[in-house]
Chains A and B, each alone.
Chain A
Amino acid sequence: MSQVVERERPASPQLAHYTAEYQRAVGQTPAQPRWVLQAREHAIAQFERLGFPTSRLEQWRFTSVAPIADRTFNLATDGVAKLDKTLALPMSDDPALAVLVNGRFNAQLSSLAGLPTGVKVLGLEDVLASNPGLVEPYLARLTPTQTNAFTSLNTAFLRDGVVISIAPHVVLEQPIEVVFAAVAEGTASVSHPRLLIVAGESSQATILERYVGTGSAFTNAVGEIWLGANATIDHYKLQEEPAESFHIASMLLHSARSGTFSSHSLTFGGGLVRNEVVAVLDGEGIDCTLNGLYLGRGRQLIDNHTTIDHAMPHCGSHEVYKGILADHSRAVFNGKIIVRPDAQKTDAKQTNKALLLSDDANINTKPELEIFANDVKCTHGAAVGQLDEDAMFYLRSRGLGVAESRAMLIRAFAGDILNRVKIAPVREHLGNILTDHLPHVD
């Protein structure tokens, strides 16, 4: 633990609680390599220095994390005994399945036999004990660039998670599905799941992260994705945690030249949700697609912050986020695009659209372009609207009921995102959510 910690404000009892939990966790963790312990120590110091963000910070202006900061979350234990096992069943057909319960890898619930040679899907704790060299160049190497208290907190509690390692030139047909189950313990518990994906040169894979759970759990997730040269990853994150849960997550991508990365961020659950995506395009000819679809109901707050960092020339990024907001739900979208001085011929396109189904729903949306190169194409657009009344009348005048007409228009709104989902059962599942689980006329 660092002795000298500069604090901008006096440590609150909540921060002290996390420090104490950290000390306890370090004491209980099985032996870890020195570099891991150092990263953790650095992270807890950073967390103490930053504290939980307040709305005075620009990046948190519209999202109050007071519901998290004001509560005392204890570190969740493995939770398996209380897990509803049906939550841990895979959604895709015949995937390689890894299951984490409260951030801990569970080999019994996982199904990883039959992975082709060159593909490893492993529990992180096991890897740190038996083969830390596999992850040392990658693990917690992307997080320090982030001055994000939650990411720091995750690293401080780094113990277990899932490691996906794909050898160069391996093309994986079946999806790898990782289920993150959060089982609340006591009044409030927190887990810090960790995912590391290392895709070797010219490899190709489809990865589905699914977040499910029960009760008032706080999931503080961090994923690091290393895309080798010419590698292709089609990545899905489907979040369906209960409405009383908290979900804060960062996905950090680093791509080498000619990588192709597609992300589909699909948020349906969670009471307070913050998804941060940081994609660093650190080679020429990278293609990065960030698609997002979220549905807010009740009093949900869904915040998506994305950063695409064009560090090198000739990269393309395409970002489309669409939100459907019902009831009293709120959303925040912030899309940052950085084009560094060297990144000539960048082609970046960002679109954010929201459909408000109720007068009480709202969204704060903001593009943030930081362009330091001159020969680039950068476009962005945002649109917030309601269901088209004329279209509603047209459909109804042909005999379609109100609910059916609404569902048809909402599906149409989400259509381009849904159609890009290549895992058929996931696509069908999303269609069903939009058709069957929408609140009725406000």
Chain B
Amino acid sequence: MLEIKNLQVRAGTKDILRGISLSVGAGEVHAIMGPNGSGKSTLARVLAGHAEYEVVGGSVSYNGKDLLEMAPEDRAREGVFMAFQYPVEIPGVNNSYFLKAAVNAKRKHQGLPELDAMEFMVLLREKANILHLDPTLLSRPVNEGFSGGEKKRNEIFQMAVLEPRLAVLDETDSGLDIDALKTVAEGVNAMRSPERAIIVVTHYQRLLNYIIPDFVHVLQDGRIVRSGGKDLALHLEEKGYSGIEAAQPQLM
């Protein structure tokens, strides 16, 4: 589904990603772990199409298409979703109004009829229930004044509503207490399916107790320095990121 080859990314004069290769197939869950500043968010944001970054080398193909050539909205309509590490507050834009526009932009792209207000409300209620999302958040401006946990939950809620084919979750676990973490993990697990790929970006191993990945990659200094199965996360938990450094980089 997603084929990243030797991706090199720069912001301003700083080289952030220095040759990343990663292959993600439908139905798989990949975890990308790494210390602060290693480039995890950069990778997620580049996949979503953020304009701040300059791709100086490599390629990303998504279902056979050149992802890097696509505008952010086209990526989203084709099924790419990124849960932001820091969701943006948008005063004055109503949360459910915004989501309805997003759902219908995607449906239009797929040649499906737009949902009317009633159909959309039914969909929203169903998904909000799954995520134990306080329904009053739906009528508030997007993320404005939400607590850290509410923002993260709102991201996963959006994912549930938009039903992406490729979801990239950027540190959705950070700042969550254990109950919120479990709810979010349940929400993500409910989304696992043979047609969908999920990339979980995290700093801590903790989340991976609840979302069991098929593959784990360690990102350090803009490179994937190690890849393995779910046990790699436990290994990291014991040894820390510094214990990895000596290991042989494993290119995929």
A397–B91 CA distance with the chains assembled, in angstroms: 17
A405: B residues at CB distance < 8 A: 73
On whether the beta carbons of A391 and B90 are closer than 8 Å, the reply is yes
| Most chain A CB neighbours (cut-off 10 Å) among B81, B102, B106, B141 | B102
On whether the beta carbons of B88 and A396 are closer than 8 Å, the reply is no
On whether the beta carbons of A400 and B101 are closer than 8 Å, the reply is yes
A15–B99 CA distance with the chains assembled, in angstroms: 59
A424: B residues at CB distance < 8 A: none
B91: A residues at CB distance < 8 A: 412
A391: B residues at CB distance < 8 A: 88, 90
**Which of B73, B92, B98, B162 meets A415, CB within 8 Å?**
B92
Q: Does B11 contact A (CB under 8 A)?
A: no
**Which of B92, B106, B142 meets A399, CB within 8 Å?**
B106
Nearest A-chain residue to B101, judged by Cβ: A400
Interface residues of B in 139-177 (CB under 8 A from A): 141-142, 158, 162
Interface residues of A in 354-404 (CB under 8 A from B): 388, 390-391, 393-402, 404
A395–B158 CA distance with the chains assembled, in angstroms: 12
User: Of B48-56, B205-213, B229-237, B241-249, which binds chain A?
Assistant: B48-56
| Most chain B CB neighbours (cut-off 10 Å) among A397, A405, A408, A411 | A397
On whether the beta carbons of A396 and B72 are closer than 8 Å, the reply is yes
B227 to chain A, nearest CB (A): 27
**Which of A388, A397, A411 meets B72, CB within 8 Å?**
A397
On whether the beta carbons of A393 and B72 are closer than 8 Å, the reply is yes
A416: B residues at CB distance < 8 A: 92
On whether the beta carbons of A396 and B92 are closer than 8 Å, the reply is no
Q: Does B105 contact A (CB under 8 A)?
A: yes
On whether the beta carbons of B76 and A396 are closer than 8 Å, the reply is yes
Q: Does A60 contact B (CB under 8 A)?
A: no
Q: C-beta contact mask, B17-50 vs A, less than 8 Å → 1, else 0?
A: 0000000000000000000000000000000111
On whether the beta carbons of B50 and A399 are closer than 8 Å, the reply is no
B197: A residues at CB distance < 8 A: none
Q: A408-B93, A412-B93, A413-B92 are in contact. Are A397 and B48 (CB under 8 A)?
A: yes
The 4 A-B pairs with the shortest beta carbon distances in the complex, nearest first, are: A412-B92, A399-B76, A398-B102, A394-B88
Taking beta carbons and an 8 Å cutoff, which residues of A are in contact with B? 388, 390-391, 393-402, 404-405, 408-409, 411-413, 415-416
Pairs A–B under 8 Å by Cβ, sample size 19: A390-B88, A393-B50, A393-B88, A394-B88, A395-B98, A395-B102, A396-B49, A396-B71, A397-B81, A398-B158, A399-B76, A399-B77, A404-B101, A404-B105, A408-B101, A409-B90, A409-B93, A412-B91, A416-B92
